[in-house]
Structure 1
Amino acid sequence: MSIRYPKQCFTSEDQVLEEAADIIATRFVRGDAFCNPDHTMQFLSCKLGGFEREVFAVMLLDNQHRLIKFDSLFFGTIDSATVNAREVVKSALSCNAAAVILAHNHPSGDPEPSNADIRLTRTLCDALALIEVRVLDHIVVGKSCVSFAQRGLI
């Protein structure tokens, strides 16, 4: 269950974080579900926290909320990434996902969701609902993490 990125994207610290994320994911792939927001945020911090540009990703989950695949779909600039709902839906369908957790990083370190983040989340929730895929959360990774579900935004 190893998700790899091109080597030029990583420093040695990034490689350590990637390995830590793989260890966390391995624990969940063996049967535990991504139901604990703290574990999910820890996993996503390792996956997305080291990037110097914005990355939008989706965790594709089965009916028991076990990880099928972690998919980094969009890479942006230092302060934005263009996200296309069609590609998110295609990713969910390709894995026969029953649920997803959306995630992206804020390279500035401030995890506070923007108005654009909130609008995008609503758009993606609506698009995924059409194909009966539940959006469990949208987590923004910065120096800490913000969960839309914990804030009542989903």
Structure 2
Amino acid sequence: MRDMPPEARPREKLLARGPQALADAELLALLLRTGLRGQPVLQFAQALLAQHGGLRGLLQATPAQLARTKGLGPAKRAELLAVFELARRALAEGLRQRPVLDSPSAVADVLRLQLADRGHEVFAVLFLDNQHRLIALEELFRGTLDQTSVYPREVALRALHHGAGAVILAHNHPSGAAEPSAADVALTQRLRQALGLLDIRVLDHLVVTQGGCTSMAQRGLV
């Protein structure tokens, strides 16, 4: 980047105009700091984003996936993973400040960041207090591409562990289909009945895809 005019260099541009003025690749280049032989850091950052399908895909990358990327040594991988985890925690922290039901878009953002790009189904639960503020978000079960085995007893135990008064259920559809399946509806009813015996409300069950989140409560399915 030394060959670039000072005002076009990501660091100088950020300091002069703020981080919002930088493209994704420019922000990523600041974290990477160095590129590869024959590939300046900005080009390396652009290639890395392309390889993972954009910023959201990169945020979802596992340590193993990053380790297979040429040019990402242990130090760079650790720094990227730390930044990604901070982003997730910052979003989740915002949900702890006020009732989750007052911020459905924030819930959707957190779940999409957490689940949308997984290649297999993941079932997660948001555990809420009696004021519907977030206590914890946990991934409880993982399945194949099209099914997940979910055990109501395990969900109930985790809810009791957190002292939850309510929960929001969520799982992803790697196929991209946003519509809840008949199996999703049946599972929701099983969990609602099991948790209801413990006076724990199921507020919603969200189906997460790359395109967004579908609320089963809004469909009258909860």
Q: Under a length normalisation based on structure 2, what TM-score does the superposition of the two structures give? A: 0.61
Q: Does residue 1:117 correspond to 2:173, yes or no?
A: no
Q: 2:204 aligns with which of 132, 137, 140?
A: 137
Per the TM alignment, residue 153 of structure 1 is displaced from its structure 2 partner at its CA by 1.0
Contact 1:17 1:46 in 2 (8 A): no
Contact 2:146 2:173 in 1 (8 A): yes
Contact 1:68 1:95 in 2 (8 A): yes
Partner Cα separation in structure 2 for residue 77 and residue 122 of structure 1: 22
Q: 2:98 maps to which residue?
A: 32
Contact 2:95 2:107 in 1 (8 A): no
Per the TM alignment, residue 19 of structure 1 is displaced from its structure 2 partner at its CA by 4.3
Q: Does residue 1:42 correspond to 2:99, yes or no?
A: no
Contact 1:48 1:105 in 2 (8 A): yes
Letter in 2 for 1:53: H
Q: Does residue 1:146 correspond to 2:214, yes or no?
A: yes
Query: Which has the larger share of helix?
Result: 2
Per the TM alignment, residue 152 of structure 1 is displaced from its structure 2 partner at its CA by 1.2
Q: 2:166 maps to which residue?
A: 99
Per the TM alignment, residue 131 of structure 1 is displaced from its structure 2 partner at its CA by 0.1
CA-to-partner distance for each residue in 1:103-129, whole Å, 9 max, x for gaps?
Answer: 000111112111000000000000000
Larger radius of gyration: 2
Q: Under a length normalisation based on structure 1, what TM-score does the superposition of the two structures give? A: 0.86
* Structure 1: 5+ residue stretches without partners: 1-5
CA-to-partner distance for each residue in 1:75-126, whole Å, 9 max, x for gaps?
Answer: 1011111111111111101111000000000111112111000000000000
Q: Does residue 1:8 correspond to 2:72, yes or no?
A: no
Contact 2:115 2:122 in 1 (8 A): yes
Letter in 2 for 1:85: P
Structure of greater relative contact order (alpha carbons < 8 Å, 6+ residues apart): 1
Task: Provide closer, same or farther for how the CA distance between residues 76 and 118 of structure 1 changes in structure 2, counting only shifts above 3 A.
Answer: same
Contact 2:206 2:214 in 1 (8 A): yes
Task: Provide closer, same or farther for how the CA distance between residues 47 and 56 of structure 1 changes in structure 2, counting only shifts above 3 A.
Answer: same
Per the TM alignment, residue 37 of structure 1 is displaced from its structure 2 partner at its CA by 2.2
Per the TM alignment, residue 18 of structure 1 is displaced from its structure 2 partner at its CA by 5.0
Q: 2:146 maps to which residue?
A: 79
Task: Provide closer, same or farther for how the CA distance between residues 146 and 130 of structure 1 changes in structure 2, counting only shifts above 3 A.
Answer: same
Q: Give the alignment's Cα RMSD to 1 decimal.
A: 2.2
Per the TM alignment, residue 50 of structure 1 is displaced from its structure 2 partner at its CA by 2.1
